[in-house]
C-alpha cells in the first residue's frame, strides 16, 4: 500500500490540521473499495484523555460515483476510555493548485464540515479498540485528477475533539438541525402534498419543508395564491437538473456532489437561491464559484456577481485572480465583449497591472 507524504501538521490541545501529498499514480493503483491510509496522529485533550486517529480515503467504491473518506479512531495505550463521550468535528478538502498560498483551509466554512458524537462510531457496540465513521462525501470520482499538479494532489484534513456527554450533544442546537435534515432525507422523492414542475418534469415535495427553508415559499403557501390552491409550483426560469439539485439541497442540507457540472449549472443554482431567498445555499454557491474559477470562466463568474448582489463579497477574490492571471485571461474569446460592457472594472484592473509590473522590474 502506497504511503502518502505529509506536507504539514499543526496540533493544539484538542485539534490537529494536516496536509498530505498523494501521488496520482498511487491514487490510480488503489483497487475498488480499497483505501489509502493517511498517517496516524494522537490527540490529547480534556482530563488527559488521549486517542489516535487515521484517515482512510477511498478513490472508488462499487456503485458509488463519489470519493469516500473515513475517520478511524482508537484508544491509545495511555487512555483506555479516550473515545467515550466525545464530540468530534471534521472537515477536509482536495486542494486546488491555485489555493496553495491564497486560500487557507477553514473548517467551519468548509462544505465538508460535520460534527458527530463518539456513540455514532461503528464498532462502539462490540467494544473493539478501533472505531470508524464515514464522513460526508463532497467530491465526485475524477476530482483528484482534475486538481492534480505535477502528478500529485494535496489532501487537507482537520479534526477537533472535546469531551461531551451524548445527551448534552444531542440537546445542542447544531445537533437538532442535523436531526431535522436527517428526518427529511427519508422523505426525499416520496409522494408529498405539493409538486414542483420544471421543463416538463415533476418533483414531489412537502410544503412543511419548503416553507421551513424559504420565506418565499412560506409566504406563497400562507396566502390564497394559485400555487397554494393547486398545491403546485411551476419554475419556468430554470432547468430540471438545477431544480432537482435545489430540492436535494432542501432535503439534505448539502449538494449531491462536487464539483458541479459547470459554471452555467452553478448560475442556475445561484438564481434559485436568490429567487427563493436561500441564504445557506447562496453561501455554498459562493464557495463553489471561488473553487472552480479559472482563466476560461472568470469573466462569466464576474458577470454573475454583477447580476446577483448576494455574491458581491467574492468580487475581491475574483479581482485578485484576474490580476494574477491577466496575461492568460486577455486571450479569452469573451475578453473583447467584457471590455466593452465593463469599462470601469477593466480600467481599474489595467491600472493596477501597470503598477504591479513597474514594481516587478524596479531595480
Query: In whole angstroms, what is the distance from residue 318 CA to residue 93 CA?
Result: 20
Q: What is the DSSP letter of 137?
A: P
Q: Is 332 helix (H, G, I), strand (E, B) or coil?
A: coil
CA angle 274, 278, 280 (to 5 degrees): 120
Report which of residues 301 and 4 the model is more confident about: 301
> Does the pLDDT of residue 127 top 50, yes or no?
no
Query: In whole angstroms, what is the distance from residue 345 CA to residue 299 CA?
Result: 11
- Residues 252-265, mean pLDDT to the nearest whole number: 77
Q: Is 248 helix (H, G, I), strand (E, B) or coil?
A: helix
Beta pairing, strands 15-23 & 5-11: antiparallel
pLDDT in tens, 267-289: 999 999 999 999 888 988 988 88
pLDDT in tens, 139-178: 888 888 888 888 898 999 988 887 777 666 555 555 555 5
Grid cell of 244 as nine digits: 432537482
Grid cell of 98 as nine digits: 491555485
pTM for the complete prediction?
Answer: 0.59
| CB of 33 closer than 8 Å to CB of 58 | yes
Amino acid at each position: 500500500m502506497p504511503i502518502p507524504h505529509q506536507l504539514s501538521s499543526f496540533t493544539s490541545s484538542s485539534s490537529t490540521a494536516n496536509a498530505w501529498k498523494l501521488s496520482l499514480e498511487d491514487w490510480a493503483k488503489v483497487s475498488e473499495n480499497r483505501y489509502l491510509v493517511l498517517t496516524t496522529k494522537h490527540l490529547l485533550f480534556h482530563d488527559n484523555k488521549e486517542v489516535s486517529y487515521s484517515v482512510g480515503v477511498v478513490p472508488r467504491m462499487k456503485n458509488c460515483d463519489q470519493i469516500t473518506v473515513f475517520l478511524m479512531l482508537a484508544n491509545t495505550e495511555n487512555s483506555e476510555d479516550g473515545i467515550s463521550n466525545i464530540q468530534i468535528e471534521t472537515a477536509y478538502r482536495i486542494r486546488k493548485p491555485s489555493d496553495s498560498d491564497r486560500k487557507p483551509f477553514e473548517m467551519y466554512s468548509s462544505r465538508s464540515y460535520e460534527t458527530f458524537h463518539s456513540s455514532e462510531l461503528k464498532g462502539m457496540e462490540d467494544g473493539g479498540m478501533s472505531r470508524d465513521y464515514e464522513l460526508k462525501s463532497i467530491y465526485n470520482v475524477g476530482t483528484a485528477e482534475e486538481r492534480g499538479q505535477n502528478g500529485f494532489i494535496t489532501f487537507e484534513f482537520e479534526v477537533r475533539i472535546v469531551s461531551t456527554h451524548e445527551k448534552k450533544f444531542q440537546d445542542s442546537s447544531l445537533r437538532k438541525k442535523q436531526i431535522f435534515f436527517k428526518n427529511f432525507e427519508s422523505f426525499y422523492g416520496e409522494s408529498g402534498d405539493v409538486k414542483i414542475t420544471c421543463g416538463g418534469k415533476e418533483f414531489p415535495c412537502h410544503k412543511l419543508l419548503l416553507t421551513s427553508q424559504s420565506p418565499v415559499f412560506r409566504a406563497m403557501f400562507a396566502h390564497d395564491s394559485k400555487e397554494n390552491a393547486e398545491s403546485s409550483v411551476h419554475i419556468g426560469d430554470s432547468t430540471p437538473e438545477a431544480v432537482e439539485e435545489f430540492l436535494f439541497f432542501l432535503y439534505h442540507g448539502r449538494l449531491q456532489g462536487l464539483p458541479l457540472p459547470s459554471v452555467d449549472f452553478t448560475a442556475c443554482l445561484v438564481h434559485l437561491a436568490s429567487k427563493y431567498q436561500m441564504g445557506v445555499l447562496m453561501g455554498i454557491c459562493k464557495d463553489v464559484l471561488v473553487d472552480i474559477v479559472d482563466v476560461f470562466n472568470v469573466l462569466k463568474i464576474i458577470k454573475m456577481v454583477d447580476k446577483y448582489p448576494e455574491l458581491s463579497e467574492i468580487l475581491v477574490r475574483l479581482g485578485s485572480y484576474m490580476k494574477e492571471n491577466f496575461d492568460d485571461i486577455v486571450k479569452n474569446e469573451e475578453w473583447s465583449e467584457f471590455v466593452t460592457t465593463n469599462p470601469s472594472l477593466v480600467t481599474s484592473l489595467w491600472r493596477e497591472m501597470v503598477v504591479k509590473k513597474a514594481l516587478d522590474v524596479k531595480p
